[in-house]
Structure 1
Amino acid sequence: MREERRTLTEDEFWDAIATTVVDPAPKPAPAGVRLGRLERHLQQRSLTDLVDFQRWMDHTRRRVDTYDHWAAAEVIFGVHVSGDSFFYFCAWLIGLGRDQFDAVADDPDALADAPEVRRLRGSSADWTDDEFPGLEELAYVAPRVHEARTGIADSLDDALRAQGCLPLSDPAPSGTPWDPTEPALRRTRLPRLGTRFPVPESEDRGRLPAHMLARYRAETGENESG
């Protein structure tokens, strides 16, 4: 039986995400619990709603797919953040909920105010799985529900392609890359976040990933010895 077309609105998308948002104090809820709530919510929606949910997910992720947000991730982690890790970090930002996400989308330095960031202590090696700023599985919930409903592997991705949409699987950041280990840039561009997560004294310049470094040099005219 063909389902009646019903477009999932942006408000409804965020209402669904809100099922995963919990007060991080005194400790964050397990990711499995949060995503289980979202899965139960999406199980009540139509197949077309699931496709629309995923389209909103990709659209929303693009708002924070910038080099400034990538730099913010590196400031928080204190190490180089790979493309995959940044992609999951963007999903984690969505999982903070609409109000916090909107603030961070407008200003990455607003992450300094997020309770989920303020509670982080020590290095990334000290964080628990539930504290870790990455939520890879968030992007898989709707596809899993869609596949369970249709009985067809990768059915949601096929539905997206039928609408002319390519499912997102990698970051494609906008803006100009910059080195967050440069103290002056850090103080200027991410002052509050940089204060909370200072550069380790042993850290050197030039830690940009190769693809970011190449683009930085191309856009700024800096040569390899600069």
Structure 2
Amino acid sequence: MDADRFWALVDAAGGELDALRPLLAPLPDQELLAFQQRLHDQTARANGWRLWAAGYLAADGMSDDSFDYFRLWLVLQGRAAFERVLADPDTLAELAWDDEGAVFDAAEAFGYLVAEVLEERGSDPGDALVAATATGEPSGEPFREDDDAWFATAFPRLTARTRA
């Protein structure tokens, strides 16, 4: 599965995990495993401190697990939104989410979707199924959670939305 096919499936779901399941269900096992690899690759691209800081601001705090779920949520928003927010995390302010960021944590289920579809059809991917979220040290410079001035400068639109 190439990147365009991956994103076509994600975009067709319109940000809804329940809409993605029936799109994945008819795919052969190898395509599902390739979809999961693409998901992993995209979360790896999004594994950066600056994006984590934007998510931290949006959710009023973000643990490492929550950052994993946030990246899954961001992928689920579709290719255009994902690429835009990666290029400029302040554009996260343009996307829809609840004020507490609970929608980010709810995206955890996206990480298990391929495994569930495979299980439902009786397939056992074993070690072939990679983790949905890439782990490891985020790229860039860590942020200080208590540096309100930095947040306001780095993310003026996001700060206006979340700290108004």
**Shared fold, TM over 0.5:** yes
- Alpha-carbon distance change, 53 to 170 in structure 1, aligned in 2, over 3 angstroms: closer
- The RMSD of aligned alpha carbons is 2.1
Q: Please list the CA deviations of residues 169-204 of structure 1 after superposition, one character each: whole Å capped at 9, or x if unmatched.
A: 5642111101143122112211211122229xxxxx
Instruction: Quote the Cα distance in structure 1 between the aligned partners of 2:68 and 2:131.
Output: 13
Q: Paired residue for 2:108?
A: 136
Q: Paired residue for 1:84?
A: 65
Q: Paired residue for 1:158?
A: 127
Structure 1, unmatched stretches of 5+, are: 1-7, 23-33, 161-165, 200-226
Q: CA deviation at 1:168?
A: 4.8
Return the match for 1:182 from 147, 154, 160: 147
Return the match for 1:96 from 77, 88, 92: 77
Q: Please list the CA deviations of residues 3-45 of structure 1 after superposition, one character each: whole Å capped at 9, or x if unmatched.
A: xxxxx111111111123215xxxxxxxxxxx323211111111
2:55 pairs with 1:73: yes
Q: Please list the CA deviations of residues 136-174 of structure 1 after superposition, one character each: whole Å capped at 9, or x if unmatched.
A: 01111111112233443xx2x5224xxxxx525564211
- Alpha-carbon distance change, 48 to 151 in structure 1, aligned in 2, over 3 angstroms: closer
Instruction: Quote the Cα distance in structure 2 between the aligned partners of 1:139 and 1:167.
Output: 7
Instruction: Quote the Cα distance in structure 2 between the aligned partners of 1:62 and 1:98.
Output: 15
Return the match for 1:59 from 41, 53, 57: 41
Which TM-score applies when normalising by structure 1? 0.65
Do the aligned partners of 2:85 and 2:92 also contact (CA within 8 Å) in 1? yes
Q: Which has the higher contact order (CA 8 A, sep 6+)?
A: 2
Instruction: Quote the Cα distance in structure 2 between the aligned partners of 1:56 and 1:85.
Output: 20
Larger CA Rg, structure 1 vs 2: 1
- Alpha-carbon distance change, 137 to 168 in structure 1, aligned in 2, over 3 angstroms: closer
Which TM-score applies when normalising by structure 2? 0.87
Return the match for 1:109 from 90, 99, 123: 90
Helix, strand or coil at the partner of 2:121: helix
Runs of 4+ aligned residues of structure 1 deviating over 4 Å after TM superposition are none
Instruction: Quote the Cα distance in structure 1 between the aligned partners of 2:25 and 2:118.
Output: 9
Q: Percent identity?
A: 30
Helix, strand or coil at the partner of 1:110: helix
Which has the larger helix fraction? 2
Do the aligned partners of 1:83 and 1:171 also contact (CA within 8 Å) in 2? no
Do the aligned partners of 1:86 and 1:171 also contact (CA within 8 Å) in 2? no
Structure 2, unmatched stretches of 5+, are: none
